[in-house]
Amino acid sequence: MNLSIIVALSENNLIGINNDLPWHLSADLKRVKAITMGHHLIMGRKTFDSIGKPLSGRPIIIITRNKDYKAKGCTVVPSLAEGIKAAKDDNEAFIFGGGEIFREALPLVNKIYMTRIHQRFEGDTYFPELNMEEWKQVSHNEFPADEKNNYPFSYINLERIMM
């Protein structure tokens, strides 16, 4: 199984504030849906709570230490390792956030689907710094702000360099 990260982040690696995104990019939401449809999404409980419901067409795996946590239509596991195990039959599973889960999963993933918003924001949750000696950029497409996307952004796909 391929394990990938899909993430939107600002120029200063911000991914969230108060358990929400500080931007709205319609194009990014469509891209995320297209890339992840039919695949497992592995995320922390706070990320799931910020979404508020399962995303259609994608099995959701929620990581939480709360043994009593339940979410209708989702698989709840106590650790990232258990989440990956629950998605083992998928040819590509996606780490979907938040910050702690990204940090823990980063050494395990071989692809990153990144949307880089070309703006700096203040917030409370950041994506970890990447060691670019471990990654190669395989695509980069830039887009201007428009009526549905308040900020210019780029889609950047990275693959881990096998050492």
Query: Can you give the CATH number for the domain in which 143 is found?
Result: 3.40.430.10
Do the beta carbons of residue 1 and residue 91 sit within 8 Å? yes
Q: What is the pLDDT of residue 29?
A: 96
Over residues 79-131, the pLDDT tens digits come to 999 999 999 999 999 999 999 999 999 999 999 999 999 999 999 999 999 99
Percentage of residues in the chain having pLDDT higher than 70: 99
Judged against a pLDDT cut of 90, whether residue 7 lies above it is answered with yes
Over residues 9-18, the pLDDT tens digits come to 999 999 999 9
The number of domains in the chain is 1
pTM: 0.96
Q: What is the pLDDT of residue 64?
A: 98
Average pLDDT rounded to a whole number, residues 43-70: 97
Instruction: Tell me the DSSP string of 112-157.
Output: EEEEEESS----SEEPPPP-GGGEEEEEEEEE--BTTBSS-EEEEE
Q: In the structure encoding, which two tokens stand for residue 74, read together?
A: 């989702």
What one-character DSSP code corresponds to residue 12?
T
- On average, the pLDDT of the chain sits at 97
Range of the domain at 59: 2-160
